């Protein structure tokens, strides 16, 4: 355990996040295309691929580690998309058990998967920490460039191409408050989806309510019903979203009726830690 500035004992994941925050960005940019797809005929979005771990998978045990680790890479990297940190440090950041041994092995497995699936280019040498060259979070396999820089570079000459680099921004408190390791793969996935659907109102005191129809969840986000329900239930239990029966616009020839809608509680993520009572 490490003591904070007030002399209190800090959890290892919080100490690791505080250390990384000195070099990381204020917010982590995540491209829309990491979370969603244009048509249901396209492959599943990258976050779903990370969750499942393979074609047809239903969410392997490593899904949460892969998502948490990749989002952490997006948070820490700057203009140079190259990072070198020991696996133990990433394991501590994600709150994995036995970070120096079993946790580090889980990180190394996740890095190898990300390398094999073109999310990173991994350089490994015996006796040295692996060097990670981050690739674009769209899953294209291209060298990573900050989405804001790419959008600015393309918006005048190639506006359609620039649109592919629109992004959401996750606050650093996802890490510094310990949420990144507390959330399962389905919960992280649903948080990203709801953050994207909430749009600019995410920063308002009363952000908009989001209803995901089963068809939208599948067609736009590649979400299974199991992932959608499990993720939403976990986020509700942790007070990161509010869930309520609210009226939604009816389809043709159908009565107006209530559906479970969700409202992201950004102030909880930013202002509290997992396990604390909501303010």
Q: Are strands 131-134 and 120-123 parallel, antiparallel or unpaired?
A: antiparallel
Mean pLDDT for the stretch of residues 219-241:
96
Give me the pLDDT at residue 8, please.
40
Average pLDDT across the chain, whole number: 90
- What pLDDT is stored for residue 278 in this prediction? 64
pLDDT at 259 over 90: no
The string of pLDDT tens digits covering residues 49-107 is 999 996 444 445 689 999 999 999 999 999 999 999 999 999 999 999 999 999 999 99
**Residue 11 confidence class, pLDDT cut points 50, 70, 90:** confident
Across the range 269-279, mean pLDDT stands at: 84
Going by C-alpha positions, the residue among 126, 87, 129, 82 that lies closest to residue 107 is 87
The verdict on residue 277 lying in a domain is: no
Give the pLDDT confidence score for residue 127 in this predicted structure. 77
Share of the chain above pLDDT 90, in %: 81
What are the tokens at 142?
A: 């291209």
Assigned domain for 276 exists? no
Q: Which of 91-100, 159-168, 251-260 has the lowest mean pLDDT?
A: 251-260
43-to-140, 151, 234 alpha-carbon distances in Å:
12, 23, 26
Count of structural domains within the chain: 1
The predicted pLDDT at position 120 comes to 98
Segment 235-258 mean pLDDT = 74
- Give a yes or no: residue 211 inside a domain: yes
Handedness of CA 13, 15, 16, 20 (dihedral sign): positive
For residue 239, pLDDT beyond 80: yes
Residue 60: per-residue pLDDT: 53
- On whether residue 185 sits in a domain, the answer given is yes
Structure tokens at 187: 């919960």
- Is 228 a residue whose pLDDT tops 60? yes
Rounded CA separation 35/64 (Å):
15
91 and 17 Cβ atoms separated by less than 8 Å: no
Question: For residue 278, is it within any domain?
Answer: no
Q: Taking 50 as the threshold, does the pLDDT of residue 145 lie above it?
A: yes
What are the tokens at 186? 């389905």
Statement: residue 125 has pLDDT above 80: no
Domain that holds residue 14: 2-271
User: Hey, is 104 helix, strand or coil?
Assistant: helix
Q: Is residue 45 situated within a structural domain?
A: yes
Whose CA is closest to 77, among 6, 116, 41, 131?
131
Q: In Å, how far are 143, 156, 247 from 194, measured between CA atoms?
A: 27, 30, 18
E strand map for the chain: 2-3, 9-10, 27-31, 82-84, 120-123, 131-134, 167-171, 241-248, 257-264
CB within 8 Å of 166: residues ≥ 6 apart: 31, 32, 147, 151
Q: Is residue 149 in some structural domain? A: yes
The residue length of the chain stands at 279
**What is the rounded average pLDDT of the residues 243-254?**
66
Look at residue 227 and tell me if it is in a domain. Answer: yes
Q: How confident is the model at residue 22 (pLDDT cuts 50, 70, 90)?
A: very high
* Rounded average pLDDT over 157-170: 93
């Amino acid at each position: 355990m490490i003591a904070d500035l007030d002399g209190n004992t800090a959890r290892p994941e919080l100490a690791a996040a505080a250390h990384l925050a000195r070099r990381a960005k204020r917010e982590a940019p995540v491209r829309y295309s990491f979370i969603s797809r244009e048509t249901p005929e396209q492959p599943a979005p990258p976050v779903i691929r990370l969750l499942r771990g393979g074609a047809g998978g239903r969410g392997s045990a490593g899904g949460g580690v892969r998502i948490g680790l990749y989002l952490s890479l997006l948070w820490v990297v700057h203009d140079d998309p190259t990072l070198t940190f020991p696996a133990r440090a990433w394991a501590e950041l994600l709150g994995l058990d036995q970070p120096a041994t079993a946790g580090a092995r889980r990180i190394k497995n996740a890095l190898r998967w990300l390398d094999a699936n073109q999310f990173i280019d991994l350089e490994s040498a015996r006796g040295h920490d692996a060097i990670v060259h981050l690739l674009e979070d769209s899953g294209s396999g291209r060298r990573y460039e900050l989405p804001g820089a790419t959008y600015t570079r393309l918006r005048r000459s190639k506006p359609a191409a620039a649109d592919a680099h629109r992004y959401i921004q996750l606050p650093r408190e996802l890490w510094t408050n310990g949420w990144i390791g507390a959330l399962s793969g389905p919960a992280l996935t649903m948080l990203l989806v709801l953050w994207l659907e909430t749009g600019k109102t995410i920063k308002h005191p009363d952000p908009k309510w989001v209803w995901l129809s089963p068809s939208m969840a599948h067609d736009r986000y590649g979400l299974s019903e199991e992932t959608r329900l499990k993720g939403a239930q976990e986020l509700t239990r942790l007070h990161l979203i509010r869930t309520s029966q609210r009226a939604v616009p009816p389809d043709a020839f159908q009565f107006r009726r209530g559906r479970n809608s969700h409202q992201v509680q950004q102030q909880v993520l930013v202002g509290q830690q997992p396990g604390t009572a909501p303010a």
